Structure 1
Amino acid sequence: MAILADIAILEVALRNAMHGALDWQWGPFWYQTAPSQTFDQRSRDSITSAWNKIPKGRRSHVNDPALPGRLVANCMFGFWANLLDEGGPITKGGRKKADYDALWLVLRRAFKGGRAEAKTSGAKYRRVWVHSVVKEVNDLRNRVAHHEPVINGYPLSGQNRRRAVRQGHEACLKLARMLDSNLAAWIAANSTVPAILSNRPTSMPVDTTRCLMSPHLVAAGYPDF
């Protein structure tokens, strides 16, 4: 899907920017050198999973300067989104939570255009707002990556509302502007999503014999098969 191509570029830009901010604070091996209570259990589990995906032969060279890049490349979009969340328990079943508002003071360096974009959006440049933008793009990414239909929009996880694909693409461009103005300009100039959306059919013939057999009817006459 065309929009997945845009999100793939955004994902690399996001992880590189956030890795750069963490590197600035704690060095390239931030996942080892940051204070033990920096990350919650969910994030540390994701780091462990990403680490285990690196071939054992590579992991054995613990001081290899290429190791951080390999680990960062293995961290999923959701991991970076979760670092902007409010932070969960530091240990499984524990009561003490990681302070992700403190972590935000480090990560905000990743969003060079964040303050200006927040002002344009009429929002305050805070962790919660940045997380909402990143999470919206991640929700769309998960939807299209699993080849699920988006013709009638896509749900936002944890919320009882849906977003249209056009809104999701606008969120992608917003995140791009927050990260890098040149990146945003390139995506806007090269994305095929607007053209596809502008040519989206408004109606199509419906095979009523099949529709009668299916409980999944969607708006605008599109059967959900």
Structure 2
Amino acid sequence: MEDAVRRALSEERLRTFDCAVTCSTQCTPLELYLWNARISAAFLVPLHIGEVVTRNAVSDALTRIHGPRWPWVQGFEDSLPSPAGGYDPRRELRRAAARSSATATVIPTLSFVFWQKIFTHRFDARLWSRCMGQVFPGADRGMPLHGIRAGMHRDLEQIRRLRNRIAHHEPIFGRALADDYAAIERVVKLRCPRTAAWMAGHDRVRPLLRNRPV
């Protein structure tokens, strides 16, 4: 059985798991592989909630400044960076807006990195100085606005990297997974502490972490 599974998954894919298992490890490479798949699946729920909450929060902020049809407001489009190389959020928004006539259908078509880019310093004066408290009521009122925004950007970068590894079925067992969950929880709590508590009440990540094999 084990040899057949290894052939199906490929020796190259299992090499990372082979290297992680030592004589003192209380699991086999395939058991570690299965645990990695289970913890990846468990993360899908908080990742889902974190992403939806984030993009809805940003849409709320943009609506307050630019109105409910913000995807088609030229002033907002012009405020987005449009570098000569690499990811271009202005181009992504333009393409998404051209394919739809409703803000609600544009929102889910924009990539995670688009929403993360709204938490760069270029939007401190344009956006966050005008509505941070209303959009993120869970934020510490004693903390500088730019600090809250920068913290969000860091957490979203951490979440994005985790999300991408899970989406490509890559190993995540070597990450600080408790910190990854905490980053998601912080983002959700800034928007709505009650939603963060609801998410925690249905969490399957931390029980699996208590039985981490390596």
TM-score, normalising length: structure 2: 0.69
SS in 1 for 2:59: helix
1:171 maps onto 2:211 in alignment: no
Residue matched to 1:17 = 57
1:45 maps onto 2:86 in alignment: no
Residue matched to 1:185 = 197
Runs of 4+ in 1 over 4 A off after TM superposition: none
SS in 1 for 2:119: coil
Unaligned runs of 5+ in 2: 1-40, 83-87
The verdict on how the C-alpha distance between 1:184 and 1:176 changes in structure 2, with shifts beyond 3 A counting, is same
Alignment of 1:153-172 (within 5 A): 153=175, 164-172=176-184
| Paired residues of 1:114 and 1:125 also in contact (CA < 8 A) | no
Calculate percent identity across the aligned residue pairs: 27
Between 1 and 2, higher relative CO (CA 8 Å, sep ≥ 6) is seen in: 2
Letter in 1 for 2:110: C
In the TM superposition, residue 191 of structure 1 has moved relative to its aligned partner by 0.8
In the TM superposition, residue 80 of structure 1 has moved relative to its aligned partner by 0.5
Count of equivalent residues: 166
Deviates more, 1:34-43 or 1:122-131: 122-131
SS in 2 for 1:69: helix
1:196 maps onto 2:203 in alignment: no
Residue matched to 2:138 = 113
Letter in 2 for 1:112: P
In the TM superposition, residue 49 of structure 1 has moved relative to its aligned partner by 3.5
In the TM superposition, residue 107 of structure 1 has moved relative to its aligned partner by 5.8
| Paired residues of 1:6 and 1:191 also in contact (CA < 8 A) | yes
In 2, the alpha carbon distance for the partners of 1:107 and 1:148 equals 38
| Paired residues of 2:78 and 2:90 also in contact (CA < 8 A) | no
Residue matched to 1:157 = none
Unaligned runs of 5+ in 1: 87-98, 154-163, 203-225
TM-score, normalising length: structure 1: 0.66
